[in-house]
Chains A and B, each alone.
Chain A
Amino acid sequence: MNHLDELENKSIYIIREAYNRYQKIAQLWSIGKDSTTLLWLCRKAFFDKIPFPMVHIDTTFKFPAMYKFRDKYAKEWGLDLIVASNQEALQKGIGYKTHDAFTCSHELKTVALQQVIAKYGFKALLLGIRRDEHGIRAKERYFSPRNQEFKWNYHDQPPELWDQYKTKAAAETHLRVHPLLHWTELDVWEYIKRENIPVNELYFAKNGQRYRSLGCMPITKPIKSQADTIDKIIEELKNSTEAERAGRAQDKEQMYTMQKLRSLGYM
């Protein structure tokens, strides 16, 4: 079995395990390359009939190209799409012009997510995070419990061995399930190439710039790049010494932001 097949089979096993154990689940689809790859794997796992919704946490600050991409493929792939925003926060005027990235992220992502979980009663959420994105994510489990306050207790994570996962959540509100945890950024691009998965045009270089990671428009910066095809992106990554999320301001604002955001329940 080749490397990509191995990654794919492991992910499909986890996706099916999550659905079998919880039923009331959803996938978070941020419209980026990772969650779109995860969505692709869900289509494979369920023979095109994904039995749960895709949730887009919409801060309303995403790139127009992302909304266009979302609507196109939600229709084409027949997805059950839930778009969720924290309306109260938006009405109060919380946004990147007036508030810091941490507040925006908390209000527009975490709180919006809490609302959608409460509304639909989801017991587990599939997310496309990967270990190589950030050191904190390298410590994640495939099935990662969140307590009632939505917190990630990274001090005391459940053991995980031999594909036996934390598959019951009594006290916890829900579990985060991470089927792509063992993939690298390069793996994702090589898989996108092999499978011909559609990805957003923002990833490809225009006028010497491209986005390597997509977040909210005001805090996401492009990198210098000439990579305007998947092959060129793969080549670029093989030679890059820059961190993937270098263009995401929120990581740099504070030394341990990522850990704090995660423990607060940010995806």
Chain B
Amino acid sequence: MKNYLKFVIVGHVDHGKSTLIGRLLFDTKSIPQSKIDEVKEVCESLGKPFEFAYLMDYLEEEREKNITIDTTQTFFKTEKRDYVIIDAPGHKEFLKNMITGSALAEAAILIIDAKEGVQEQTKRHAYILQLLNLSQLIVVINKMDLVNYKQQRFKEVKNEILTHLDILKLKPNYIIPISAKEGDFVDKKSQKIEWYNGPAVLEALDSFKPRVAPVNLPLRFPVQDIYEIDGEKIIVGRVESGLIKQNQEIIFFPDGKKSKVKAIKKWRQELAVAETGHCVGITLVDDIDVERGQIISETENRPHITDKFTSTIFWMSRESHKINEPITFKCVTQEIKAKIKKIHKLMDSSTLETIKDRTDEIRETEVAKVEIETDKKIAIEDFSYIPELGRFVLEKNDEIVAGGIITLE
């Protein structure tokens, strides 16, 4: 079994994400001395005091301007397990990088500056976490040193964020007062915050569970490609859910053609069964037409086949988009021309206020409940049932412009 956890650190710009990561790496002795020396050198040459944040912010511009531009992934370990930390930028204009980072995570830390309290990106990032279904959540109230470690200020900020998270139906597992700069309550408890009885950040992280692929879901195997190897047609793809078995009856969606699995192949190996997450090749007992984008399913529990569905999308592109303009829908290996036919509800992803004066256009950082229509039928699922087939991206001019979550009624 794997023994590591991927988590993302999100929050408003300058609330201390990179500093917290630098501190985590430092406290867990996960950084080579040569890297610390490199950062010391850089800080000196820029005439600045040693910054933990520089251990993460590698781009020249990031160090000069003290901001994180792009998401970074790094590794550290505790006695319990290994971690991958994903650092997400806090600027509004880098939201797509924040989402790129968060989409990979199994848990999240939402960081808030004790002095500034909840800000625009704090709220927006919380919304993205909720959309991505990241329910293992730690809120850290950082820079406690700047408010003299006062419990009163901690309570104020705590109430402020809980009010917002409550609207999103997000329940944080922990709310921890810390100072990443001073090292309070990061790897261990601190005398300076004796009024707080909860765990330090590392202990809280250690209590989280890695995401495990659920068993007992129906088979979904999107066709990725078809190879002709030594005169044999091999259909390759990844088992996104369930199991695929030798001799199993299968159906190709959306067209509904049936066949039977002859063999399951890996390199120099034949399998009787392939589980979720495995990339395998299969051969069939008969020679039917197969193409990329078809979804192989078991005969019971079929996927939802439709060309019209409702979903919540978040817009990441600087270019805004009008309804009925052509767009490309991509979900696993399905790729198809589509249109947003109607915007049911348009929202500011930070304030959560409904935008009422515009019903035909979606803009950067906005979230919308929309009706999507595809040119041909596709196979989809409810996001909460089989996430792999319940999430998609929209592409325009060969760029990913939005992500979406499907809710079947």
Contacts and interface: CB of A to CB of B under 8 A. Distances in A.
A155 B61 contact: yes
B234 to A, nearest CB: 7
A9 B238 contact: yes
A259 B60 contact: yes
Interface in B318-335: 330, 332
Contacts of B99: 159, 161
Interface stretch (B164-172, B173-181, B188-196, B224-232): B224-232
Contacts of B75: 132, 184
B34 A1 contact: no
B209 to A, nearest CB: 16
A135 B41 contact: no
B4 to A, nearest CB: 7
Interface string A124-143: 00000001101110110100
B148 interface: no
B64 to A, nearest CB: 11
A199 to B, nearest CB: 19
A174 to B, nearest CB: 14
Interface residues of B, number: 65
Contacts of A259: 58-60
Contacts of B227: 46-47, 49
Interface stretch (B245-253, B275-283, B343-351, B354-362): B275-283
Q: Is the interface of A mostly helix, strand, loop or mixed?
A: loop
A2 interface: yes
A47 B73 contact: no
A259 B69 CA distance: 14
Contact of A243 (B32, B73, B97): B32
Interface in B284-337: 292, 316, 330, 332
**Size band of the A side of the interface?**
35 or more
29 contacts: A1-B213, A1-B275, A1-B277, A1-B278, A3-B2, A13-B224, A13-B279, A16-B279, A44-B267, A47-B227, A47-B265, A49-B230, A132-B75, A138-B58, A138-B74, A154-B69, A155-B69, A155-B70, A157-B97, A159-B96, A159-B97, A161-B403, A162-B103, A162-B403, A166-B400, A241-B32, A241-B33, A243-B34, A255-B41
Interface of B: 1-4, 29, 31-35, 38, 41-42, 45, 55-56, 58-61, 69-75, 84, 96-97, 99-100, 103-104, 213, 224-225, 227, 229-230, 234, 236, 238, 265-268, 275, 277-279, 281, 292, 316, 330, 332, 388, 391-393, 397-400, 403
Query: Considering the complex of A and B, which 6 residue pairs feature the smallest CB-CB distances, nearest first?
Result: A135-B58, A161-B103, A168-B398, A44-B267, A159-B96, A243-B32
